[in-house]
Amino acid sequence: MTSNQEAIGNGGITTAPHALASQAGLDVLRDGGTAVEACVAMAATLAVVYPHMTGIGGDGFWLIHEPEGRVHAIDACGGAAMAADLSLYQGLKVIPWRGPLAANTVAGTISGWQAALAGDDGSLGLARLLRDAIKLAQGGVPVTAGGADIARLKHAELHGLVGAYADIFAPEGRPLGQDDILRQPQLARTLQSLADQGLESFYRGDLAQSIAADLAALGSPVSLEDLQRHRASTPAPLSISVSGARLFNTAPPTQGLAALLILALFDRLPPSEAESFAHVHGLVEATKQAFLVRNRHVGDPAYMAVSAQQILDDTARIAGMVDAIDPRRALPWPAPSAHGDTTWFGAADGRGQVVSCIQSTYFEFGSGLVLPETGITWQNRGASFTLDADGPNVLRPG
């Protein structure tokens, strides 16, 4: 069902892929919180009610527009474990998608919350921001239709993994179905610990020691020292001009470069009627051109030969990419589709602060490694590294 009715207000707005998360953020705004604080509340709630797509064992990226107009970014993406080198995967052609060897990077999500709150002037404490998430993790939440479908489809590859996946998400030997109640008492205790001890404890406190012990017992290469070493970073956001606007997105290792290229290329194509053949064809071909550049250049930003912003500022390159789009013929595209997904949510407050966030465990349920003591589902973003020593995205420690 669609509606043309407009919703108008001046106190703020929140959006998330689950109503309970949107409501948690909206309640924070009603209590006088900022858009950043609302997003922390939504991020925590999504970790509980949307665990097939996101969680505190994943990574996060923030794009924040301040009331005075400044745009800044937070990169809360964890690096590879120091023990995660090519020798660890000797005899393998690719990094496994699931299991302890897939859980080879630090989870950066919590450091993103920490950096966002540290740079904000909000006044609500962590106990308030995590309140709804803790309550839902302890008391339980009905499984969504989408969550049930994914749990069913992935059951065969996940339920036999080491860790607590089966205990939490398939407690009777079958995946939880739609409207079954998902209870996560271990995760509730972890969130309560963060509220009591502070977000720093995830990396450099008692909680970090518990996480590291869990990971080691399950066979992950991520150590306490890896957790202690991690900090979120604040790289300059990428930007490019289009007709009547300047667009911003996050820098590598995200897809921000590709997203901005797609929009910039499409903006420079001849005008076309919405949903017409020319419109759809142009968007698809712009996407192909952007992905070719992404695949050629994007990796760990510390090792990229040319920066993403340099690519966006190269007007001759952009013009050449536009010229390469044939309005009557599709570029062959042999590249197979890739796995992976993410969760986006955002908020705006009455002062004019606007926040855009993504938070992800990469695959559905990440690596499938669920830590028994803390209830954290660990990501598998590091499975996207290659084991080709000469490749642009080769696995390197740290």
The pLDDT tens digits along the chain (398 residues) read 455 677 777 889 999 999 999 999 999 999 999 999 999 999 999 999 999 999 999 999 999 999 999 999 999 999 999 999 999 999 999 999 999 999 999 999 999 999 999 999 999 999 999 999 999 999 999 999 999 999 999 999 999 999 999 999 999 999 999 999 999 999 999 999 999 999 999 999 999 999 999 999 999 999 999 999 999 999 999 999 999 999 999 999 889 999 999 999 999 999 888 889 999 999 999 999 999 999 888 877 877 888 999 999 999 999 999 999 999 999 998 766 655 567 999 999 999 999 999 999 999 999 999 999 999 999 999 999 999 988 778 899 98
Marked catalytic residue, from 250, 342, 377, 386 = 342
What's the whole-model pTM score? 0.92
- Concatenating the DSSP letter of every residue in 249-311 gives EPPTTSSHHHHHHHHHHHHHSPP--TTSHHHHHHHHHHHHHHHHHHHHH-S-GGG-SS-HHHH
181 — phi, psi (to 5°)? -90, 120
- The two tokens of residue 273 are 């009627």
How many C-beta atoms surround the C-beta of residue 87 within 10 A? 7
CA gap 292, 393 in Å, rounded: 15
Q: What is the set of domains in the chain, with CATH numbers?
A: 13-234+340-384 (no CATH), 239-323 (1.10.246.130)
Computed on alpha carbons and rounded to an integer, the radius of gyration of the chain in Å comes to: 21
How many C-beta atoms surround the C-beta of residue 53 within 10 A? 24
CA gap 110, 227 in Å, rounded: 11
Asked if residues 350 and 12 have their Cβ atoms less than 8 Å apart, the reply is yes
342 is catalytic: yes
- The two tokens of residue 98 are 């699931």
